[in-house]
Structure 1
């Protein structure tokens, strides 16, 4: 796994792809944002700041107000890797987000996605 590539990815360039993915499956930007807020502690204003600043994923997660304590309950395979087994913290956080977006796109109920 090429960590440096993931670290350099801009959240602002991936976010529209997340939107596209969930909307194509009939889900909403509001649901996507709710997942991001849940995972990172960002809100509408602070998430928009991250997008406007064109921060990379490393910075995006480093500046996250609070990673959700239940993030460790996110398990499964994404891009061929078990998210719970990824040792690099930033890569794991990116994959947590990818996994949640996948679950949203696959039609999972929000309370399940948010590990309620």
Structure 2
């Protein structure tokens, strides 16, 4: 998300700390899963942790340097690639992390 914000030149602020405590103090409901970095849209007063809806919302709020193509065919291909990368590449990660004996042993020692 930081790369996207920098590329699009969208101002942002990073708040480090216990996410649940910070959101509680702000009166915001914590999104699930709370394992991921959280993005807060100031006008909506909502915390979101999924990159896909965040990117789509930023596309509507900021018009410069868009990352989703305007061409409908390219936007469709973009959606397929984004979904594959976001949802399915993790399956390869799990396979290569725990499939081979050496990796299983290594993960057990960490």
Give the TM bin, normalised by the shorter chain: under 0.3
Q: TM-score, normalised by structure 2?
A: 0.24
Q: Which has the higher helix share?
A: 1
Question: Relative CO higher for 1 or 2, CA cutoff 8 Å, sep ≥ 6?
Answer: 1
Based on CA coordinates, which of the two structures has the bigger radius of gyration? 2
What TM-score results when the alignment is normalised by the length of structure 1? 0.23
